[in-house]
Structure formats: C-alpha cells, structure tokens
A and B are shown apart, each in its own frame.
Chain A
Amino acid sequence: MGRRVVITSVGIVSSLGNTEPEIIDSLKSGKVGFTRFRFDEEIMICPVQDFNLKAFTGRLKNARYLNRGAGFSVAAAALALKNETIKRGVFSQAGLFAGTGPNLDIGGECSEIRFGEIDSKRFQALWMLRFLPNTASSVISDLFGIHGENATITAACSASLQALGEAFRKIKDGYLDMALAGGGDSRLSAGGILAYQKAQALHAGKENPEKSYAPFDVKRCGFVPGEGGAFFLLEELSHAEKRNAQIYGEICGFGCTMDGYKMTAPDPEGKWGEKAVRYALDEADAQPAQIDLICSHGTGTPLNDEMEANLIHRIFQGSRPYVISLKSWIGHLSAACGAVETAITLFCMRGRFIPAVRNLEKPCHAGINLAVKSIEAEADSAVVQSFGFGGQNSALVIRKWKN
C-alpha cells in the first residue's frame, strides 16, 4: 500500500461554533444562526457572530491586510495548530494549501467612488493586500513558520475542497510529509450579497429565516450565504504515528474536473461532476456501496440540487447512503464550504450523528436517501462534494479513524 494521508488536527470557525463538541451540540439542539440581511429584509444570511480574529491569534499587526474571509482562514489555521506540540522548526518543511475567494466588499473597501474617481486618502499604503488571494497564506506562513510547497486555490465554491485534495496528493505522492490545508471566506457584505442577488442565486422571501431555507426540497429557490473557515493538519500516516499524534480521520481519494459548459450553471447532465466523484472513489479504492454518507454540495438552487440528486442517484442507487446538506445549517460558505463541511462531516461521523437536511418537506428526488430527520447512526466513510461557478467540480473521500 502506498503512502496514507491522515488528519491530525482540525481548526474551524463557524456559525455553529468553533469546537467539535460545540458544533455537535448545535446540530443536535438545532441551534442555527440564520438571520435577515441588514440592507435588505428579504435576504437571509448566516453570519459568525462576534468574530474577533485577534482572539485566535493574539497581537497581529498584519490583521489590517486581511479581509473578513482571509481573517477566517487565519483564525481557523491558528486553531488547527493551537494544540500542536510540534516544534516550530518542524513546520518549516510543511506545505500550505488554501482555498480563498475574491473580496467582494466593494462598498466597505472604497466607500467613496464618484464618476470613477476614488477618494483614497484613508486607504492604507498596502490596501491592495486586502484583495490579493494569497494574503491569508502569507500571514499563516509568517505566524507558524511554514515554508514548504504551497498553493492558493481560487476555484470558486470548489476552492477549499480542491486545496484539501491538492495537499492530500502532495503528501500521498511523497512531496510533503505534512501540510496545512483548508480555506476561509465571507461574502456577507453589501457588495457580496449584490453579486449573488444580481446572479439570481439567492434564497429570498419574508418567511422566518430559520425555517425556510430547504436544499433538495421541491420549493427550494436559491442559497443562503454564510461565512467561516476551516483548516486541517494533514500528515503521512507513519509521520503522525511516530509523534503519537491524535488521528481523526483519513483522506482516501480526491477527484476534480471542469464542466466546460456555462459560466455559472452546472451542466444539468452532471457528466463531469459525476466523474469527479468517481475519480475520488477510484483513488480511495472504494465501491459506491462502501460509502455511508454523502455531504452534498446541496446549495438549494434549483439547478444544483437537481443535477446533484441525479448524480448521486446514478452512482449510489444500489446502496443509498445518507445524503446531508450542511448548507442548510451554516449557509453557503463559497470558497470555504468544502473545508468547513469536511470538518463538520468528520465530527458527525465521529459523533455517530447524521444531521437532517433542515426544513426539507418534499424531497425533489425519491431515489436518494436524503436525511429528512436527524438520526444517530454509524458512518465510517463519506464523500464530500463541491460544485462551483464556472463548472468547477471536486469530491473528497474521507474515513473516520478507528484505533
């Protein structure tokens, strides 16, 4: 058997909490953070309340260069490495793979633009760093002394799952023994919301924000944006064992494709999305029947959920694993969704808990096993799926670690 890649630490900042017990407790008690957007009563969002980056990092003068999404990346990375007893020098060989999104907070960043002229007097000298996609990585590298192979991946909503996949491959293929991988994002600014409103991708309405967002329901009408971040410490198995690291799970396979179809809509046939999932299963040497749980992309847009339900049905109809949509709990975290949902999926597997697709009443597909109610159940292996704008498809196969 080749080199195996295990997860030895998880750092997460989410609207459900920042620790494994807190998140499981929120899932079991149904505590969610959906609320109305202050600039538009019909828009719902799922923010992380009272986020304070320096509570995670301590003093950090470069915080001024981090947009909110980048701040979630740095905070999650700090949590992932908080309990690590590895000496600082050891991280110098580690890799760093981050999935990040664009800073769409145009109103907050340049509040005064008139006829093309920008009032820039209040701008910082290095204001542009707030827009560069690798600023979070640069700060993480500086904070923790990480100097190895790295990449900042900006593949829309597939970005952070691809960051995990790339880190996994680098370790599996022997380029690295250890890597930090994940992502952070926030689009809950006026500019970010406007972007998705214009694209007609958002769930909107006057109903109770906690009770209306229902991915995979026949009445679904768009997604609710959220925010947050997650980072994982990934290691080659023997490297982790040698230092007696706690092992949470294993990454077993990764698949990644592009639709080559439309700028935002997924290919309704899901041909290349399906291939991404099958490639991940192949790399994991797993049959569809060996998968217990699917953490779907499950955005709640009419097009994604129909394409994805059909795709899941085609691959998994013989075994019908549970299908969950964590976006129904935390909203759509854009570039960060893959990493954050992988973290929560892993916690659910470890906690033997399958969270319901919230608010799901009439499933749009009868042939897949959507979790209509939360249940206590064993799940040893899962597929996490991300499908982003631009036809970006990725899938990751993970397993719970059993000692």
Chain B
Amino acid sequence: MDAFNEIKNVIIEILDVEEDQILPETYLIRDLGAESIDLLELAVSLNTVFKKEIIDDDIFLRKLRPYTEDAEEVGLEKSAYLAEKYPFLEHARIRDVLGELGGGPVLKVKDLVSYINYERREI
C-alpha cells in the first residue's frame, strides 16, 4: 500500500471520519478538526504502522511559525530556511505554505505523505 493510503487509514481510525473526507489536499486541522491530542495519537499510530520514529515537530510542521520568525530575524530568505528545516517538502509546497500562513493552520494530508516518503527513501 502506498503512503497516502496507509496514512488515510490511520486518520480514519484516529479522527473517526469518512474515507471520502480525506484527500491529499485536505487540511488536518482546518477541515478534519484535528486537535493537539489527535496529532499526538496520529504520531503514535504512524510510528507503529511505518516502524519509524516519527518526529512530531517535523511531520506536523509544528515549528513553522517560529522558523519563519527566526529567518526574518537573522535576515535569511524564508523559503530557503524552511527548505533546510523541512527537507521532505518540495519547493512549490513551501511557497504555498508561506503564501497561506495567514489563513490558519496549513498542515495538509499530503505533507504527512511527503514526510513518510522522504523517511522511506533509498539512501
């Protein structure tokens, strides 16, 4: 099974939502109402499913705002700084994220997929 479908199954289980509510573009917090404890549970389940240690702060983009503030403070270009912090996100996605920061929590299902695929990549 690919990462998206495995993650989808975990989200269905943890958030008690319908399968058709979950697309790559779905927002976890804005659309599915995930709360902080749900993210904790998601991390535990993803750990078990993928047999990887999931870093909560990374997969859920928890430090996104402090990172952008850091970049501003030291005069670095935000997208380059975020690309360094979140190597699993594509450049296009980082641009989108920065563009919609004002609209609320940006975390999408596809970000979780990117994280898992990056962690699983052949080195």
* Residues of A participating in the B interface, judged by any CB pair closer than 8 Å: 54, 59-61, 63-64, 121-126
Say yes or no: A63 contacts B41, CB within 8 Å.
no
Q: Taking the complex as formed, is B3 at the interface, i.e. its CB lies under 8 A from any CB of chain A?
A: no
Residues of chain A lying within 8 A (CB to CB) of residue B40: 125-126
- Closest partner residue, chain A, to B16 (CB atom): A61
- Distance from B34 Cβ to chain A, minimum over Cβ atoms (Å): 9
In order of increasing CB-CB distance, the 6 nearest A-B pairs are A125-B40, A61-B16, A59-B16, A125-B44, A125-B41, A61-B15
Q: Is A123 in contact with B38, judged by CB distance below 8 angstroms?
A: no
| Contact digits for B1-35, partner A, Cβ 8 Å, 1 yes 0 no | 00000000000001111000000000000000000
Q: Is B61 on the interface with A (CB-CB < 8 A)?
A: no
A231 shortest CB reach to chain B, Å? 22
Q: Which residues in B have some Cβ–Cβ distance to A below 8 Å?
A: 14-17, 37-38, 40-41, 43-44, 47-48
| Residue ID in chain A nearest B45 by CB atoms | A124
Q: Taking CB as reference atom, which chain B residue is nearest A126?
A: B37
Hey, which chain B residues are within 8 Å of A124, CB to CB?
41, 44
Main secondary structure on A side of the interface with B: loop
| A125 CA / B41 CA spacing, docked (Å) | 5
Q: Specify which chain B residues have a CB less than 8 angstroms from the CB of A54 in the assembled complex.
A: 16
Inter-chain contact B16/A60, CB cutoff 8 Å: yes
In the docked arrangement, what's the CA distance between A126 and B43, Å? 12
Q: Which residues of A contact B48 (CB under 8 A)?
A: 121-122
CB-defined A-B contacts under 8 Å, sample of 19: A60-B16, A61-B15, A61-B16, A61-B38, A63-B16, A64-B14, A64-B41, A121-B47, A122-B48, A123-B44, A124-B41, A124-B44, A125-B37, A125-B40, A125-B41, A125-B43, A126-B37, A126-B40, A126-B41
CB distance from A41 to the nearest CB of B (A): 35
Could you tell me if A59 and B37 are in contact, using CB atoms closer than 8 angstroms? no
Chain B residues in 8 Å Cβ range of A123: 44
> Measured between alpha carbons, how far is A350 from B44 in the docked complex, in Å?
50
Minimal beta-carbon separation of A6 from chain B (angstroms): 36
Contacts of A122 in B (CB 8 A): 48
Bound-state CA distance A184–B16 (Å) is 23
Q: Which residues of B have CB within 8 Å of A60?
A: 16
A325–B40 CA distance with the chains assembled, in angstroms: 46
How far apart are B8's CB and chain A's nearest CB, in angstroms?
Answer: 16
